[in-house]
Amino acid sequence: MLSESSIAQFSYTKMLIFFVVLVACSAKSVTAAASTPEEAVGSPPVLDARSAAYTSLSVQRYLRSTSDKISNSEERAGWADFQAGLMSNLQKGWTEIQSSRTAMMKWLRVKRWDIAFTSSNLHKKEPMTLFEDPEFFKFVSIVESNYPGNIDKQAKVVYPVLASHYKPDELVEIAVGMNSKNKDLAKTILGLQVKSWIGKKTEQDVFNLLELSEIKDGRGQAFSQFVSFVSKSAKSEQNPDDTLYEVLNKRFGNRLWGLLEEAMIANPESVAEQLLNKQLQEWSKNPQLDEIDIFGLLGLNKKNKADSKLFTSGQGIYWLKCVYLFEGNDDAKVLSVLEKYFKEMVPLMLSAARKEGAPGQELMKKLQEIQFGNWKNAKRGDKDVRGILTEVTDDENLIERVLDEYADFKVSRRYLLSA
């Protein structure tokens, strides 16, 4: 085995031999050039004659410095242009190198995640089974650990990997099927997919890709993204919300309410709530519908009408809003409608809604005070009220709560002023 010193000595010897040969060749070339006879090159008169024959050719000279005695601004400008062009080309080349480097680094960052994904053969999994594979969630966990707490960056890593191996409709299946632990990541991935369709696909295309032709469990997120797609596609319209509502209503009809409610639960920051209010306004303008029809459209006819928690649900609150629209926001008329349909259950419903902290607390309180005022005018005491409530419920706690609220009302300023 060669030692380090012998290797160094051998290299030095080779370099020395190479240098000697190089000097010898150079000397030979110089000697040969020096020994060339003048006749082979041409005498001065001959050279002058040749120069005179080519006076029509343009000649451009570059001065070495601006201190030259020759004052030829064009020649100086030519040199400056040459320098500027050279620097421009150098800068352009450097920019291209930097751009290529950036593109290469970006490609490598994406490729390393793709390698991690394919190393476990996840790209060969069916989309419906991928989110059931522990290896897939191991891959997701690795991404999350690299970008802790940053859902957007996590999605921008996972989405390109999935998109490179699965068709759009398959990617939708994966995002919808991801478990609740990764619901935020799934929502963002699905959002990136839908965003990529804007300007490229029609509403019908996206509708089909999201498989919204049938109501399925867990489709609230997909429907929410469809709403987002239509909303963003309609931004150029004068009234995008109206356009969005028309598209959705035409597509889903009376099913729209249920989908909007599910979408609002899946994605609270969506425009679903605005569309729900728009839906109620449209219903209230329809002369062929009354409060009980809308009660059915909201799916409330499937509930027990004796359910004291009716107004603790989203459907119940929206139905109450719709009644207000029908009755011109008249509290007394609204209470009359409630008593017409629910009779003695109304005080229990209002009390339960206030206890549960349901939305619309101010509405519940106003309606309750009107009802207590009616009881007071009818000179109903606690015993009378208890008798009425006992006929419709055996929930003693709820009865006591209503009686306590009635007692508070009777000592309130409003009650005393009306006495």
From first to last of the 419 residues of the chain, give the pLDDT tens digit: 433 343 344 444 555 555 555 555 555 554 444 444 555 455 566 656 666 665 555 555 555 555 554 554 444 545 566 666 667 777 776 666 556 556 555 545 556 777 777 777 777 777 667 767 788 778 788 888 888 888 888 888 888 888 888 887 777 777 766 666 667 777 788 888 888 888 888 877 887 777 776 555 455 677 777 777 777 776 655 566 677 777 777 777 777 777 777 777 666 666 777 787 788 788 878 888 887 787 777 777 655 555 667 777 777 777 888 888 888 888 888 888 888 888 878 888 888 877 776 666 777 888 888 888 888 888 888 888 888 888 777 788 888 888 888 888 877 755 555 55
Considering 126, 151, 175, which residue would you say is the last residue of a domain?
175
| Residue type for position 86 | L
3-state helix vs strand vs coil in the chain, percent to 5: 75, 0, 25
Q: 178: Cβ–Cβ under 8 A, 6 or more apart, which residues?
A: 131, 185, 186
Yes or no: say if 288 and 326 are a contact pair by the CB < 8 Å rule: no
Considering 155, 175, 195, which residue would you say is the last residue of a domain?
175
Residue 390: phi and psi, rounded to 5, are -65, -25
Q: Is residue 402 part of a domain?
A: yes
Q: Is residue 94 part of a domain?
A: no
Q: Give the angle 113-117-119 at the CA atoms, nearest 5°.
A: 115
Task: State residue 359's pLDDT score.
Answer: 67
Cα separation of 222 and 247, whole Å?
A: 16
Q: Is residue 354 part of a domain?
A: yes
Q: 223: Cβ–Cβ under 8 A, 6 or more apart, which residues?
A: 210, 212, 259, 262, 263, 266
Name all contacts of 113-118 with Cβ < 8 Å and 24+ positions apart.
Answer: 113/143, 113/157, 113/158, 113/160, 113/161, 114/160, 114/161, 114/164, 116/142, 117/161, 117/165, 118/165
Cα separation of 315 and 334, whole Å?
A: 17
Considering 135, 154, 175, which residue would you say is the last residue of a domain?
175
Which residue is associated with the tokens 């839908």?
194
Cα separation of 197 and 149, whole Å?
A: 27
DSSP character string of 228-240: HHHHHHTTTSSSH
Task: State residue 349's pLDDT score.
Answer: 82
Q: Is residue 252 part of a domain?
A: no
Report the phi/psi class of residue 126: left, alpha or beta, with left for phi > 0 and alpha for psi in -120 to 50: beta
The residue segments making up the domain with residue 158 are 104-175
Q: 333: Cβ–Cβ under 8 A, 6 or more apart, which residues?
A: 327
Q: 295: Cβ–Cβ under 8 A, 6 or more apart, which residues?
A: 301, 319, 341
Identify how many contiguous H helices and E strands the chain contains and give both numbers: 22, 0
Q: Is residue 79 part of a domain?
A: no
Q: Is residue 372 part of a domain?
A: yes
Helices (H), 234-356: 240-252, 256-266, 272-285, 291-297, 314-326, 331-342, 346-356
Q: 215: Cβ–Cβ under 8 A, 6 or more apart, which residues?
A: 255, 258, 259
Task: State residue 55's pLDDT score.
Answer: 58
Cα separation of 265 and 258, whole Å?
A: 11
Cα separation of 169 and 212, whole Å?
A: 11
Number of domains in the chain: 2
Q: Is residue 34 part of a domain?
A: no
What's this model's pTM, rounded to 2 decimal places?
0.47
Cα separation of 27 and 166, whole Å?
A: 70
Q: Is residue 204 part of a domain?
A: no
DSSP character string of 8-69: HHHHHHHHHHHHHHHHHHHHHHHHHHHTS-HHHH--HHHHHHHHHHTTTS------S-TTSS
Yes or no: say if 197 and 229 are a contact pair by the CB < 8 Å rule: yes
Task: State residue 4's pLDDT score.
Answer: 37
Distances (CA, A) of 305 to 292, 316, 336, 338: 12, 11, 16, 11
Task: State residue 100's pLDDT score.
Answer: 58
Cα separation of 298 and 254, whole Å?
A: 9
